[in-house]
Structure 1
Amino acid sequence: MSVGAAPAAMRCCRHVLLLWLLAADALACAPGRGHYRRRSPRKLTPLVYKQHVPNVSENTLGASGLAEGAISRQDPRFRELVPNYSEDVIFKDEEGTGADRLMTQRGKEKLNTLAISVMNQWPGVRLRVTEGWDESGLHAPNSLHYEGRAVDITTSDRDRSKYGMLARLAVEVGFDWVYFESRSHIHCSVKSESVTRGRHGGCFSADTEAVLADGRRRRFDQLRRGDVVLAVDESGALVESEVILWLDRDPAERRLFYRLSTAAGRRLTVTPGHLLYVLDAESAAAGNHSAHSARITFVKHVIEGDYVLVAGAAGAVTAERVTAVDLVHESGVFAPLTRHGTLLANGVLASCYAMVDDQRTAHAAFLPVRWAVNVRELTLHMLEHFGVRAAAAAAAARSAASEPTSGVHWYASFLYALSDYVLPRDMMLN
């Protein structure tokens, strides 16, 4: 090991050790173990007429998000709506079609949880839904009722004095936007399934291109494990790095993406929780265009006027100003992991990681994966060395043919779940 590599290895080991120590500490603090003191019940404050929580527009990312278009019974997305037959909820169903019972899975979960809260708050009273999924065109053009993401609710006794508290209970159970819209009902809505699925990963769109070691470009949906692409190392220098696995790969899944456009005409389409190398205008003007000096931040924090780092001519790294940030919904999500934890995506320097706002911590957490890959390759080399070429070839073929068809890698899922307990909230995507 070189002198320069030793400190890097030590830092890497310290990051991994920190994660496991934090995990042990989290387990010790769980109910029933270690020191635990029950919190006093928090007093709930009813919403007032025309108040909504959060205090932003319903169709913003801080609330229930953009409308994705009305869903008809002939729409392929109609299969994603689920009927709600909970006995704890009364559905008005004035149309007589059962439409009010149809909603997204997230909406169903929140509604059923709210129904229990209502019965606990007012024994003998049940939750009542007056409007759910709308296929009749009775709401505003961008209403989330058309997507099964919104419900209008009352209590079964229709006691309007309870509606302010009903709205507060809806906030507490996790509806993404709650509005005391009318004296006669409360309006609640949730984020789309594409956005909530994106909460647990960071991905690029299918048409994003990687730069291969020989200079050719290859779309992410055609990239294979074992391909060698251009990436950056800890010093910020361009290096060749092997794709060792997929953190997430699903050609059919639909998610919300940010589309960044630069002054040079470059575009990058990536999910909000992915990490990107970014410079502010002052740093870019100073000419310090290196990955080592850039801040690594979530894509959702990139704004017009920021600068992204790109690979220029002859391997030089330069900066391009972001001229537009647009929200789009697209199908196909791809998140390759390289040995260096970085790669060039449409020529833009990007991390392979998401959800945790620290490149070194994320890269250290995947050290066991890199070790496992090294052990697998060492085993193949040993088989070849001892003349067991048929076994080595068969093992290599099985490895090459084992590309995942869809889903998040199990180790990535484990880390995402663990991070909620062991990492500070300011490091996590909110």
Structure 2
Amino acid sequence: MIFLKFILIIGMLVTITDAQCSIAGDPKEVVKCVQHITLVLYGALAKDLKIICQVAADVSDCLSTEISDCVEAEIGIAALNEAKRLAENCCPVANSTSCPILSGSHFAMNSCFAADSLLTLVNGKQKQIIELQSGDTILAYDDKTNNLIPTNVLTMLDYQPKQYAVFKQLTTVSGRQLSLTLSHLLPTDIHGYVMAKNIRVGMNIYVMNDDGLLVTETISNVIDVVKQGYIAPLTQQGTLIVNNVAASCYATINNHHLAHVVLAPMRWWYGLFGETKVSDKTIGIHWFPNMLYEMTTFLMPSILQN
């Protein structure tokens, strides 16, 4: 039934493309809109939120401008309304009850923070994570003393400013929010370092208050959201303060201290030979943690994403 519906929709879109539309603008824009809507409907068929959310904003624009003038048949209007419903209900909140797509399906298991996150420099100013440079000195979390300490940014473990991902968005009772990917580690007061996908309402995490002190706060809400861009900085300390929340630099391996030991050679390398500027780095996952992940998947898969 779903496949038949998809075939009918594609047929309708082809008809719209070939139709004479009373639009004063560039016909190429109409074709682009048809392509956007086709992608959304294909994303629904493939149960792929990434496809839908990449063009969600474009679909909304099209339905209010060019494409609306080209739809004459009721089936065309119905199909376009379905595309609009998918775009509005599945993005950015992926676990909406109105979204028919399974949350997180077909998304890569990235290990990063959302690109709109802010880090705190030692001088108290904040800097967007996407603008962070190797050599910047930022605030980090000392899990031995539960205090704030300075640390240097060494490099990026993963740098994908344009790609989409599903994040766990955590909100505390004071309104602080942090969006991080499902397998990223976060320190808690009782349970130690916990992957974001296992964080629950009522757990306590460490946050920096308005006086610049590290205190515990209770999680009041946890939802899944889809955002564009994800970044994973590596610091000398192995931790950092993101959106005034203490977090680990590590993910995938369900043990912060083990990950810190495993990545020691990488920290030593950058400590000896200096940091690499973000602008000089290739988009994607750093080759060293990527190699470690492949080796761990083969040799010790039980420690990954438990």
The alpha carbon displacement at 1:376 in A equals: 0.6
Structural mapping, 1:144-155, within 5 Å: none
The alpha carbon displacement at 1:404 in A equals: 2.6
Output the CA distance in 1 between the equivalents of 2:281 and 2:77.
41
1:419 aligns with 2:296: yes
Output the CA distance in 2 between the equivalents of 1:191 and 1:103.
7
2:134–2:278: 8 Å Cα contact kept in structure 1? no
In the superposition, the TM-score normalised over structure 2's length comes to: 0.66
The alpha carbon displacement at 1:242 in A equals: 0.6
> Alignment RMSD, CA only?
3.8
Deviation track 1:137-167 (CA, whole Å, cap 9, x = no partner) reads 67x969xx99xxxxxxxxxxxxxxxxxxxxx
1:239 aligns with 2:239: no
Q: Label 1:374 to 1:76 Cα distance change in 2 as closer, same or farther (>3 A).
A: farther
- Structure 2 residue aligned with 1:408, among 245, 267, 285? 285
Question: Whose relative contact order is higher, 1 or 2, with alpha carbons under 8 Å and at least 6 apart?
Answer: 2
Q: Label 1:311 to 1:103 Cα distance change in 2 as closer, same or farther (>3 A).
A: closer
- Structure 2 residue aligned with 1:346, among 221, 243, 247? 243
- Structure 2 residue aligned with 1:368, among 231, 243, 265? 265
Q: Label 1:415 to 1:74 Cα distance change in 2 as closer, same or farther (>3 A).
A: same
The alpha carbon displacement at 1:81 in A equals: 6.6
1:213 aligns with 2:122: yes
- Secondary structure of the 1:353 match is coil
1:224 aligns with 2:133: yes
- Structure 1 residue runs without a partner (length 5+): 1-71, 83-99, 107-134, 147-188, 284-293, 378-395
1:210–1:219: 8 Å Cα contact kept in structure 2? yes
Look at both structures and tell me which one has the larger radius of gyration over its CA atoms.
1
Deviation track 1:109-146 (CA, whole Å, cap 9, x = no partner) reads xxxxxxxxxxxxxxxxxxxxxxxxxx9967x969xx99
Q: Label 1:137 to 1:366 Cα distance change in 2 as closer, same or farther (>3 A).
A: farther
1:326 aligns with 2:223: yes
Output the CA distance in 2 between the equivalents of 1:326 and 1:278.
18
- What letter is aligned with 2:188? V
Deviation track 1:183-218 (CA, whole Å, cap 9, x = no partner) reads xxxxxx9978x754431x311111211110111111
- Secondary structure of the 1:226 match is coil
- Structure 2 residue runs without a partner (length 5+): 1-32, 51-75, 88-99
Output the CA distance in 2 between the equivalents of 1:76 and 1:210.
37
Q: Label 1:401 to 1:237 Cα distance change in 2 as closer, same or farther (>3 A).
A: closer
Instruction: From the two aligned structures, give the one with the greater helix fraction.
Output: 2
Output the CA distance in 2 between the equivalents of 1:312 and 1:240.
17
Q: Label 1:400 to 1:428 Cα distance change in 2 as closer, same or farther (>3 A).
A: closer
- Structure 2 residue aligned with 1:75, among 36, 58, 73? 36
- Secondary structure of the 2:297 match is helix
1:295 aligns with 2:204: no
Q: Label 1:313 to 1:103 Cα distance change in 2 as closer, same or farther (>3 A).
A: closer
Task: Find the counterpart in structure 2 of residue 428 from structure 1.
Answer: 304
- What letter is aligned with 2:141? V
Output the CA distance in 2 between the equivalents of 1:136 and 1:351.
48
Output the CA distance in 2 between the equivalents of 1:363 and 1:254.
27
- What letter is aligned with 2:114? S
Output the CA distance in 1 between the equivalents of 2:286 and 2:293.
11
Identity of aligned residues (%): 28
Q: Across the two proteins, how many residue pairs are aligned to each other?
A: 237
1:205–1:269: 8 Å Cα contact kept in structure 2? yes
Task: Find the counterpart in structure 2 of residue 251 from structure 1.
Answer: 161
Q: Label 1:411 to 1:77 Cα distance change in 2 as closer, same or farther (>3 A).
A: farther
Q: Label 1:345 to 1:77 Cα distance change in 2 as closer, same or farther (>3 A).
A: farther
Deviation track 1:299-333 (CA, whole Å, cap 9, x = no partner) reads 01111111111123555321111111111111010
Q: Label 1:103 to 1:233 Cα distance change in 2 as closer, same or farther (>3 A).
A: closer
1:274–1:299: 8 Å Cα contact kept in structure 2? yes
- Secondary structure of the 1:210 match is strand
Output the CA distance in 1 between the equivalents of 2:159 and 2:37.
21
The alpha carbon displacement at 1:239 in A equals: 1.2
